[in-house]
């Protein structure tokens, strides 16, 4: 039954029998026959069949939801039964918003050192995809914003505060500046993340608070593209401080903290608020606390930006520092 549920969930991911079979390392007839047997056992039609995959019936959608829960509970039980207090088995499925990818190694490096037999699957996802992945048992945990568009039915563990900078090319007009207002940043030719990214929605909100409406010339879902477009093109971009710790500035580039308004948001670890919690997710949160990652990431960020001559402003008034 577990195997049939696995086949069914693969079909739900791909909406294609051939690709689902390939993921499960079985032939297409094997996968199709297994789902037919599942239909016979449950006494309902799960898949709307035709010349190709046409979708799931309403009963089929209910079976899929149950299958996700059963397989997650099976994995949770397996981890609980096999844990010995030192190591855990299995695969940790972690969804990470793109702006947090430069910081994720601060968490998974000590986690991997403690639990060397755990495979880690990192997926770059939007905050909305992370919510869906947790709800549908496709993710064990996520790293996302905690206080802008909060996720629901999750446990949270803060990791760091995200501050924003205008990344642009050096010019005479910017020579003596140590920071820049959002209103002034709006006068630049902008390359920003796409609107499905929460970072973009945060930037637009800050511009509105500065009484500015922006119309970026270039949009992308890639942080690397933001950086390269500023480095080699005529554009400027709003970027998080974590990106600047990963990609060094060339002599022709400058990063100025954005103020008026002062904007920061907390980024942290989230996992589903279920009983019992997924052991791997709970272990990841424990590592974050015991390794004092909030202090570690804050110190690393400040020191790295300082070496590049980028001013790291203190936390704005009214925005408490993130502590574990």
For residue range 94-144, list pLDDT tens digits in order.
999 999 999 999 999 999 999 998 999 999 999 999 999 998 888 999 999
Q: Which of 72-81, 138-147, 170-179, 303-312 has the lowest mean pLDDT?
A: 72-81
Binned at pLDDT 50, 70 and 90, residue 51 comes out as low
Top pLDDT among 51 and 106 is at 106
Q: Which of 16-25, 91-100, 289-298 has the lowest mean pLDDT?
A: 16-25
Burial class (CB in 10 A: 0-12, 13-18, 19+), 180: buried
For residue range 191-205, list pLDDT tens digits in order.
999 999 999 999 999
The pLDDT value recorded for residue 300 is 95
Top pLDDT among 311 and 261 is at 261
The pLDDT value recorded for residue 7 is 87
Percent of the chain with pLDDT over 90: 64
Burial class (CB in 10 A: 0-12, 13-18, 19+), 155: middle
CA atoms lying within 13 Å on the CB side of residue 81: 6
For residue range 274-290, list pLDDT tens digits in order.
887 888 999 999 999 99
Residues 240 and 98 sit within 8 Å (Cβ to Cβ): no
Q: Looking at residues 6-23, what average pLDDT do you find?
A: 89
Please report the DSSP string for 257-281 in residue order. Answer: EEETTT-EEEEEEEEE--SSPPHHH
User: Is pLDDT at 9 greater than 90 in this prediction?
Assistant: no
The pLDDT value recorded for residue 303 is 94
Entry field: residues in the chain: 324
| Helix orientation angle between 279-290 and 105-114, rounded to the nearest 10 degrees | 110
The CA distance from 318 to 131, in Å, is 28
Binned at pLDDT 50, 70 and 90, residue 324 comes out as very low
User: Is pLDDT at 79 greater than 50 in this prediction?
Assistant: yes
The pLDDT value recorded for residue 164 is 96
The pLDDT value recorded for residue 312 is 65
Under DSSP, the state recorded for 101 is G
- Among 175, 170, 192, 184, which Cα is nearest to 249's? 170
**Beta strands 237-240 and 154-169: pairing type?**
antiparallel
Name the 3-class secondary structure at 102: helix
Q: Looking at residues 67-88, what average pLDDT do you find?
A: 70
Mean pLDDT, the chain, rounded, equals 89
User: Is pLDDT at 320 greater than 50 in this prediction?
Assistant: no
The pLDDT value recorded for residue 227 is 95
Residues 192 and 227 sit within 8 Å (Cβ to Cβ): no
Binned at pLDDT 50, 70 and 90, residue 318 comes out as very low
Name the 3-class secondary structure at 292: coil
For residue range 218-264, list pLDDT tens digits in order.
999 999 999 999 999 999 999 999 999 998 899 999 999 999 999 99
């Amino acid at each position: 039954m577990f195997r049939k549920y696995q086949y069914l969930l693969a079909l739900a991911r791909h909406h294609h029998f051939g690709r689902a079979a390939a993921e499960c390392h079985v032939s297409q007839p094997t996968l199709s026959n297994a789902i037919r047997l599942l239909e016979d056992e449950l006494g309902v039609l799960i898949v709307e069949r035709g010349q190709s995959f046409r979708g799931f019936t309403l009963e089929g959608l209910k079976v899929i939801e149950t299958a996700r829960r059963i397989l997650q509970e099976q994995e949770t039980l397996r981890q609980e039964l096999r844990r010995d207090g030192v190591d855990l088995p299995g695969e940790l499925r972690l969804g990470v918003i793109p702006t947090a990818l430069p910081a994720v190694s601060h968490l998974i490096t000590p986690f991997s050192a403690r639990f060397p037999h755990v495979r880690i699957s990192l997926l770059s996802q939007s905050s909305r995809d992370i919510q869906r992945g947790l709800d549908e048992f496709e993710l064990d945990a996520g790293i996302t914003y905690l206080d802008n568009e909060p996720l629901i039915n999750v446990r949270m563990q803060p990791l760091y505060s995200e501050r924003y900078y205008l990344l642009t090319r050096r010019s005479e007009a910017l020579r003596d500046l140590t920071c820049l207002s959002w209103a002034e940043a709006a006068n630049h030719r902008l390359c920003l993340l796409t609107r499905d990214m929460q970072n973009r929605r945060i930037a637009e909100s800050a511009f509105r608070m500065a009484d500015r409406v922006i119309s970026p010339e270039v949009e992308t879902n890639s942080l690397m593209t933001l950086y390269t477009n500023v480095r080699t093109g005529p554009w400027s971009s709003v970027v998080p401080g974590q990106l600047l710790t990963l990609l060094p500035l060339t002599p022709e580039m400058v990063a100025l903290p954005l103020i008026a308004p002062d904007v920061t948001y907390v980024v942290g670890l989230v996992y589903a608020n279920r009983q019992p919690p997924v052991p791997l997710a709970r272990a990841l949160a424990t590592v974050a606390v015991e390794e004092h990652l909030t202090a570690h990431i804050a110190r690393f960020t400040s020191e790295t930006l300082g070496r590049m001559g980028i001013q790291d402003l203190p936390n704005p008034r009214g925005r408490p520092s993130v502590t574990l």
